[in-house]
Amino acid sequence: MNHTQGCTLVMITRFISLLTVVQLTMVAGVTAGEQWSDWGKGVPVTEIKTIAGEGCTIESPNGKELYVASNRTGTLGANDIWVAKRKNRKSPWGELRNVGEPVNSAAADFCPTPLPGKWLFFVSERPGDNTCNAGPGKGDIYLTRGSFDHGWTPPQHLGCREKGTGPNSNGAELSPSLVETKDGTFLFFSSDFDGDQDLYVSVINKDGSFGPPKRIDELSSDSIDVYANVTKNGREIVFSSNRPGGAGGLDVWYSSRDSVLDSWSPPVNLGTNINTENPETRPTFSWDHKRLYFGRTISGNGNSYVSTRTKVDD
């Protein structure tokens, strides 16, 4: 094991230990017997809307930060990761600010996934000796952690499946989504390692190492299936797909299961409240499961949208 791999294992092991503590102190998520309304009509997140392209929208676990990928003025590369803040879940979002280096680089940086303890997964096309053929269109997953005093730690590459050290490959890995439960810790993502983008999951071992990525056959198809995001209890998943049955192009699809040990239900299209003839990309759940963010590309520009649902008495 080289020095970089060792640092990555230490970071992931510390992250898993911290996440376990945080999960135990947070309000429980969806449990057996809970029911939800249908998702409401998606509306633009107007506070961050510009003439630039925005996408990859996702809330932080506490609901007070909103991360996006954008090519707006001030971007260091093709895309940068930006963040807006608010006082509470009922307040409007403030101004988007670039998270800066070392998270952002001269390459494309996108698909942010904030986690408890100021940890952040993201995808980058930056080059490097430790990547798996990183470069334009060949993004890999990285992990970093923020600090109020010292900024962000140097991003750590998660390792290559060809070398048996991680989930990345010589293809493009997108939209990391991590789930920690009593039955295990899982990293969901999409990859075109075997052709078109499909959905994958890797089990994270207690020492921080990754089990071999496995294609999620019940969710993947002969079409493009990309941008997976899973609720924190591991029981609901959304993703984008251009499979038959949609409104045209990439649509948002949904599946669920009774527990993380069960197979996923047949995916269903989320319908016209979410999907249009335009591409809908990278849907993400809020940690309280009440909001669904997604991107929509119109005339070449992507913008962020949000839909809400409410809990229904059993």
Instruction: Show the DSSP H helices in 52-188 as ranges.
Output: none
Q: pLDDT per residue over 170-216, tens digit each?
A: 999 999 999 999 999 999 999 999 889 999 999 999 888 899 999 99
* Exposure string over 44-61, b if 16+ CB within 10 A, otherwise e: ebeebeeebbbbbbbbbb
**Contact (CB, 8 A) for 141 and 150:** no
Q: How far apart are CA 146 and CA 153, in angstroms?
A: 6
User: Kind of pairing, strands 173-181 and 184-191?
Assistant: antiparallel
Work out the average pLDDT over 257-280.
Answer: 95
Asked if pLDDT for residue 265 goes beyond 80, the answer is: yes
Is the pLDDT higher at 248 or at 46? Answer: 46
Counted residue by residue, the chain has a size of 314
Q: pLDDT tier at 21 (50, 70, 90 boundaries)?
A: very low
CA distances to 63, 227, 233, 236, 254 from 200, rounded to whole Å, are: 27, 10, 17, 15, 15
Domains and CATH numbers, the chain: 3-26+44-312 (2.120.10.30)
Q: pLDDT tier at 26 (50, 70, 90 boundaries)?
A: very low
Q: pLDDT per residue over 137-153, tens digit each?
A: 789 999 999 986 779 99
Asked if pLDDT for residue 307 goes beyond 70, the answer is: yes
What pLDDT does residue 159 have?
94
What pLDDT does residue 313 have?
67
Is the pLDDT higher at 167 or at 150? Answer: 167
Token output for 280: 């809908």
Q: Most distant CA pair in the chain: distance in Å?
A: 54
Q: pLDDT per residue over 31-84, tens digit each?
A: 445 789 999 999 999 988 777 788 999 999 999 999 999 999 899 988 999 999
Q: pLDDT tier at 17 (50, 70, 90 boundaries)?
A: low
What pLDDT does residue 277 have?
93
> Mean pLDDT lowest for which of 132-136, 163-167, 181-185, 225-229?
132-136
Work out the average pLDDT over 217-237.
Answer: 96
User: By C-alpha distance, which of 182, 293, 305, 150 is closest to 229?
Assistant: 293
pTM > 0.75: yes
Work out the average pLDDT over 231-259.
Answer: 94
How would DSSP label each residue in 188-241?
EEEE-TTSS-EEEEEEEPTTSPBPPPEE-TTT--SS-EEEEEE-TTS-EEEEEE
